[in-house]
Amino acid sequence: MSVSLAKSRPEPDEAALAGHGLDGLNLFVANIQTGFGPFISVYLTTQGWTQIGIGTALSLGTVVAMASQLPAGALVDAVSSKAAVALFSILAFSASALLFALWPSALWVYAAEILHGFSSCTLGPAIAAMSLAVAGPAMLGPRLGRNARFASIGNGIGAALMGACGYYVSERAVFFLTAAVTLPAIVSLMPLARLRDPALSPASYPDGQAGPGRAPISSLLTNRALLIFAMCVMLFTLGNSAMLPLAGNTLTKEAGNFASLLIAGCIIVPQLVVAAISPTIGKLANQRGRRLVLLIGFSTLPVRGVLFATLVNPAALVLIQGLDGIAAACVGILVPLVASDIAGRSGRYNLSMGFIGLAIGVGATVSTVLAGWVADAFGTPVAYIGLALVGLAAVLVAFSAMPETRPSS
């Protein structure tokens, strides 16, 4: 078995290079995505945009990102060079960042939002597919752990860098910086350029058998494990997404002069935790199974909600955010891993990723709206408890219905 596995992968030095390429790619892409987050609304405000205009632009981005998940997944499945997909996605990020920086007027901002929304949906699956090609299905868990480590380092550095850039230089400079960071991301792609699609290659799999060609889409959408997993992560995201903004809001209210610094801490602390533990989590998923990791990750959410609801000490809020890091590491690794377990050799890997991505997108969108409404109507603690209950539902669904998807070998 180990012999056939060794054959499936590139030469050792090339493999090491490809591994480093993936490290860099994850780091820089996470770095780039920091600039495209909630900061866009701050930037457009400084450009004299009204709140309604900003809301329209951001909603457009959200709608495009959701509507693109499935088509983008199918597209990535159909293109054999995932590096080419990644290249075009990153170039779209560069174009999007430059449009924001140079022409922050309605038409170009809408164009930038559409470009970014669609290419986010192609880049994530492409990186996962390249990881599968480099590591092979048997070692995908540890590889995704490494991806998560570098992505979180990129997120942390990105938050610090973009925050400083926005504060000391200008809001506009953040987008020039974002565009500049696409360059090292493209350089990281170089050792991955000659990677081939592993999905239909028999040598990638321990039993030497490829999938039966491209599976029909209907078989994917009736796959029980995929549906339950998508439902679990949707519930988890529904409970999770609004927690950081709510905590930030509380900090801005309670912490006075140091609020911004503490919110920065709330963003960076989970990234440190992810960077520290994600390789271990990746190994754990390989050795002890996906279910265990899923339950560990999910169960931090109700705990975090209850702690947020009961503690008001600003420093405590930052520490509680460490739990977010545990959840982020587990979910971040499991999404591409479980998708690979379920659809890795069906030729529908990226479509499955798109399906799970859509579930996450729905959860995230509903989460902020719902939590905002509950916080307005019943107060922030009630909103935290509500999010914790949704998190508990995610744990229960995962515990009672989610099958173990780790290939038995």
Partner 1 sequence: MSRPGWRHTPVGGAIALALGLLGVAAVAVAPQCRAAATVVAQNQPETRPQPSTAPIQDQQKRAAENIEPLSLKDAAPVLGKKVKGPNGEDLGLVVDVLVDTNGQPRAAVIDFGGFLGVGSRKIAIDWKALDFTALGRAGTVELGLSRAQIAAAPEYKPGPPGAEAVTPPPAPAPPVDTHK
Residue type, 352: S
Residue type, 13: D
Shortest Cβ distance from residue 224 to partner 1 (Å)?
A: 34
Residue with tokens 């579930």: 359
By CB under 8 A, the residues from 49 to 78 that bind partner 1 are 49-51
Pick from 5, 60, 67, 259 the residue near partner 1 by CB under 8 A. 259
3-class secondary-structure state, position 210: coil
Our finding on whether 116 is near partner 1 (CB under 8 A) is no
Cα radius of gyration rounded to whole Å, the chain: 21
By CB under 8 A, the residues from 347 to 376 that bind partner 1 are 376
Classify residue 221 as exposed, middle or buried by CB count within 10 Å of its CB (0-12, 13-18, 19+). Answer: middle
Shortest Cβ distance from residue 36 to partner 1 (Å)?
A: 11
**159 and 267 Cβ atoms separated by less than 8 Å:** yes
How far does Cα 2 stand from its chain's mean position?
31
Neighbours of 382 (CB within 10 A): 14
Residue type, 347: G
C-alpha distances in Å from residue 247, one per residue of 253, 300, 365, 394, 401: 10, 16, 17, 21, 31
Distance (Å, whole) CA 376 – CA 239: 17
Pick from 1, 16, 46, 169 the residue near partner 1 by CB under 8 A. 46
Pick from 263, 331, 356, 397 the residue near partner 1 by CB under 8 A. 263
Question: Using CB under 8 A, which of the segments 81-89, 291-299, 307-315, 333-341 binds partner 1?
Answer: 81-89
Pick from 84, 315, 316, 369 the residue near partner 1 by CB under 8 A. 84
Distance (Å, whole) CA 203 – CA 199: 10
Our finding on whether 253 is near partner 1 (CB under 8 A) is yes
Pick from 59, 105, 209, 252 the residue near partner 1 by CB under 8 A. 252
Distance (Å, whole) CA 391 – CA 118: 29
Question: Using CB under 8 A, which of the segments 7-15, 115-123, 219-227, 341-349 binds partner 1?
Answer: 7-15
Our finding on whether 298 is near partner 1 (CB under 8 A) is no
Our finding on whether 166 is near partner 1 (CB under 8 A) is yes
Our finding on whether 125 is near partner 1 (CB under 8 A) is no
**319 and 269 Cβ atoms separated by less than 8 Å:** yes
Distance (Å, whole) CA 53 – CA 308: 33
Pick from 176, 205, 349, 355 the residue near partner 1 by CB under 8 A. 176
Pick from 114, 127, 267, 269 the residue near partner 1 by CB under 8 A. 267
Contacting residues toward partner 1, per CB under 8 A? 7-11, 14-15, 34, 37-42, 45-51, 81, 83-84, 87, 91, 94, 98, 102, 159, 162-163, 166-167, 176, 179-180, 182-183, 186-187, 189-190, 193-196, 201, 203, 244-245, 247-257, 259-261, 263-264, 266-267, 376
